[in-house]
Amino acid sequence: MTIDFSGINIDEIMDDAAQKTDSKLASKISSLTCMKDEDIKKLFPKASDAKKLIELMRIVKSAEERNIKINNIATNSEKFAGVVLTLLEKYV
């Protein structure tokens, strides 16, 4: 028996899933920062950028010594550059 996919809009389903994921991610980030969900969604509309923000926050909030944090950020500086620029443009 074959399955009839003719009535299913895959693009709509994927868009809905992406929006739910983005909202959940923004909510998690806002719970860890002073930013609101709306701010995070506006500043980081792409989930990939929000994930970079989380990775940067993990380094900053880690129990590592300051120099180790600096080295970790420097090692990933190209990856974090867009996130840092976005945050500085918003808050400076």
Instruction: Reply yes or no on whether the pLDDT at 41 is more than 80.
Output: yes
* 28 vs 85: which has the higher pLDDT: 85
Could you state, in order of their start, the residue ranges of all structural domains in the chain? 10-91
Prediction pTM value: 0.64
Say how far apart CA 71 and CA 59 lie, in whole Å.
10
Stretch 15-26: mean pLDDT: 67
